[in-house]
Structures are given as structure tokens and as C-alpha cells.
Amino acid sequence: AGTPDLTGRHVVVSAGGTREPLDPVRFLGNRSSGKQGYALARTAAARGARVTLLSANAGLPDPAGVDVVHVGTAVQLREAALKAAGDADAVVMAAAVADFRPETYATGKIKKKDGEEPAPIALVRNPDILAEISAGRPRPGQVVVGFAAETDDVLANGRAKLARKGCDLLVVNEVGERKTFGAEENEAVILGSDGTENPVPYGPKEALADRIWDAVVSRLPHQE
């Protein structure tokens, strides 16, 4: 830290978790707090980058000196991500994106009716934003980073996910009841598509963010 090694670079970071509405008052969501993504945005700005932060329901104050785009759903996040990624040197998808969304949205609040069984919720697949950006690479030499929260076989699942998504780096961490989500600290392994495996010990989310930017910087093409 302390080196402005992202000066002249544009980086895009997603943070938080998408909410997929069922009706005006209900949604399917997840426990992502957005803290790791916000730490990535702050540290990138401190290292000199122009930062676009795509924030999904994080409920955190906008970091100073960062362009923040607020989104709700996976579909909205995709639209904002594709737009911001156009001229980005790096895209880091730290947000927890819902894999599925309810097939239908009820414009009025869904009511329970006496004596009736609850209706099942039909789901449809959301677009995989990370895979789409990895495949598209809107800017040559762009570095794309994904996250994976795994409960078991963390490294093997991480390797498989890295290959499947087509990104350059995948940050894997083990999650459980009391781990990672909402916590101030995190531990992870940064996997590279070149076979590298870089463990980052338990510590502040800023420290992990700086190790991720180190890995990104080492893969960026030289600036003219």
C-alpha cells in the first residue's frame, strides 16, 4: 500500500448482494454485507485508480472519491457492469449475485388466503455477469476477477469455478454460519488462471483487498 500503482487506470468493483423482488415488499436475497467490495473500492482509490463501484443493497455510505452506481437486481447489475466495463482496466465482481430470480413479479402484495396452500415460487436463471464479461473482454488486456464463497472442498471448487467462469483471478473463501458475511475480517486464497495459488491469512478486508490489487497490477499490460 502507499504506492499509486493504479494511477491512470479505471477499475470497476461490484459489491453487496442482489435482491430479486417477488412483490413490492418482498424479495429473495442473501447475506452479503458489501464490506469486501467497499474495501476494494477504497483501496483502489487510495492506489490512484478511477473507481466505479456498483453497489447492490449494501446500505453503506458512498466512499469518497468513488463513482457509485446503485443497483437492486442481477439484471440491473448486469446492465451497469457491461456499461462500466467498456473502458475498464480491471473488473472485480465481489457482489453476491442471485443465480435465480422469481419468474413473475406481483405488482400488488401477495396475500395469504384462508384454507389455501401457499403457491410455489417459480424461478428462472439470472445472467452470469462474470462469465459474460470474461468471455467478452470489452477492453484488450482487461483483468477480470471473481469471488467464490464455498462451504466445502474450497480449493477444488474454486479451481473448477475459475475455469468455468473464464476469469483471470478467483478469490475463494470458506463461508459458514459465523464466517465472512458481515464480518470485518476475512481470509481467502487468490487463485490465478496461470496456476498460481496465493493464500491470504485472516485479517482486515482492506488487507485482502490490497493483495487482490497486487495480483491485478502484476497482470495489467504496461501503460503507454
Q: Give the residue numbers marked as catalytic.
A: 30
Least Cβ distance, residue 222 to ligand C5P (angstroms): 27
Please tell me whether 147 is known to bind a ligand: yes
Please tell me whether 153 is known to bind a ligand: no
Please tell me whether 109 is known to bind a ligand: yes
For β-strands 143-150 and 90-93, DSSP reports them as: parallel
Please tell me whether 181 is known to bind a ligand: no
| Neighbour-count burial of 53, counting CB atoms closer than 10 A to its CB (0-12 exposed, 13-18 middle, 19+ buried) | buried
Least Cβ distance, residue 116 to ligand C5P (angstroms): 33
Alpha helices in 47-183 (DSSP H): 74-85, 129-136, 154-165
d(CA 183, CA 21): 26
| Nearer to ligand C5P among residue 45 and residue 98 (C-beta) | 98
| Nearer to ligand C5P among residue 5 and residue 157 (C-beta) | 157
Which residues of the shown chain bind ligand C5P in the complex (CB under 6 A)? 14, 74, 93, 95, 97, 99, 126-130, 146-148
d(CA 108, CA 86): 37
Least Cβ distance, residue 73 to ligand C5P (angstroms): 11
| Nearer to ligand C5P among residue 109 and residue 125 (C-beta) | 125
Least Cβ distance, residue 81 to ligand C5P (angstroms): 8
Distances (CA, A) of 14 to 40, 53, 168, 222: 9, 6, 16, 25
DSSP per position, 51-89: EEEEEES---PPPTT-EEEEE-SHHHHHHHHHHHHTT-S
Please tell me whether 161 is known to bind a ligand: yes
| Nearer to ligand C5P among residue 42 and residue 161 (C-beta) | 161
C-beta contacts of 158-162 below 8 A and 24+ residues apart: 158/189, 158/191, 159/191, 162/191, 162/193
| Residues of the binding site for CTP | 99, 109, 127-130, 147, 161, 165
Q: Binding site residues, as ranges?
A: 99, 109, 127-130, 147, 161, 165
